């Protein structure tokens, strides 16, 4: 129960701090499927590379959403429990060039006080391969 309360509070805090829009997947043009997996508390998509274009991905879209294909896209994923008795912050930003009709999996893993991220392409057989266009970026503080 306590973990659920902490999760809810940190999610609300992230929404209040980010001052950003909720992500709206593209409705026209070529797209790629995007999945956010792991024990993260937030996920963002930024197709314009600025605080004004950064959009928070709603938790209901973490298992499956879509991004524009054919242009470098920035994503962020992590955990931030700042302000709570149990404070922990670990997040990553990366960019990649999604290809049309391809599924990508952003895999966030937390192991104690350490965390890591990987971005993979998902094959039709369910195999994951590292995304070659991925570049690590500096996380953005947008207030």
For the segment 81-105, what is each residue's pLDDT rounded down to a tens digit? 887 777 888 999 999 999 999 999 9
Is 66 strand, coil or helix? strand
CB burial readout 99-110, b (16+ within 10 A) else e: eeeebbbbbbeb
- For the chain, the average pLDDT equals 86
For the segment 14-55, what is each residue's pLDDT rounded down to a tens digit? 444 455 789 999 999 999 999 999 989 999 999 988 889 999
Fold of the CATH domain 2-137: Immunoglobulin-like (2.60.40)
What's the confidence (pLDDT) of residue 113?
Answer: 80
Cα–Cα dist 69/83, whole Å: 37
Burial of 124 from C-beta contacts in 10 A (0-12 / 13-18 / 19+): exposed
Share of the chain above pLDDT 90, in %: 65
Q: Which of 67, 74, 59, 75 is nearest to 34 (CA)?
A: 67
At 121, the pLDDT band (50, 70, 90 cuts) reads very high
Average pLDDT for residues 8-19, to the nearest whole number?
44
- Looking only at the bridges linking them, the beta strands covering 128-130 and 114-122 are antiparallel
């Amino acid at each position: 129960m306590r973990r659920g309360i902490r999760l809810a509070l940190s999610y609300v805090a992230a929404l209040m701090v980010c001052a950003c829009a909720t992500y709206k997947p593209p409705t026209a043009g070529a797209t790629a499927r995007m999945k956010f997996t792991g024990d993260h508390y937030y996920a963002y998509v930024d197709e314009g590379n600025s605080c004004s274009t950064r959009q928070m991905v709603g938790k209901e879209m973490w298992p499956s959403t879509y991004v524009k294909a054919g242009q470098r896209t920035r994503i962020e994923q992590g955990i931030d429990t700042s302000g709570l008795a149990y404070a922990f912050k670990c997040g990553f930003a990366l960019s990649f060039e999604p290809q049309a009709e391809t599924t990508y999996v952003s895999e966030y893993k937390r192991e104690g006080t350490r965390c890591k991220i990987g971005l993979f392409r998902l094959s039709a057989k369910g195999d994951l391969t590292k995304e070659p266009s991925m570049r690590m970026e500096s996380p953005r503080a947008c207030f």
